[in-house]
Amino acid sequence: MSLIDRVRLVSEDHALALRKLIEANRNKVAAITFNLGYLPGSDKSIQTRAESTDEALSASIQLLTTGGYLCVTAYRGHSGGKTEAETVEAFMRKSQIEGNAVDCYEPESSNSPPILWVLRKR
């Protein structure tokens, strides 16, 4: 089977799409990555938002296998981005307290750089 035969494209809100996967894939997924925000050069009103991102992250934890990785890049420079990034941070801090390994990478810049979070499920 070629790689393309193993790919399924789903065009849906990330919270809904991931929630639907839980029943058949709980604790089975090795890696999930989020690149939040809007598509540069496209309609900026179509952007990820704090509430559904929080739901999508909660679904992701349930999908990940032990040792699986969750990577999230959050942008703070656009409208709604700061709130969303704070929501991601709160989720990551809580996940860390619950026992997961969490790292945060923030480039040195005075200009609200993006933040990369990497969680490894324990």
Using rule CB under 6 A, residue 48 touches ligand SAM: yes
Q: What are phi and psi of 53, to 5 degrees?
A: -65, -40
Pull the structure tokens for residue 42.
């496209």
Residue 14 CA to residue 66 CA, distance in Å, equals 22
Number of residues forming the site for ligand SAM (CB under 6 A): 10
Helix 14-25 with 50-63: angle, nearest 10 deg: 20
87 binds ligand SAM (CB under 6 A): no
Residue 39 in the binding site for ligand SAM (CB under 6 A)? yes
Cβ closer to ligand SAM: 19 or 120? 19
103's tokens: 């790292």
Binding status of residue 47 toward ligand SAM by CB under 6 A: yes
Where do contacts with ligand SAM occur on this chain (CB under 6 A)? 13-14, 35, 37-39, 46-48, 52
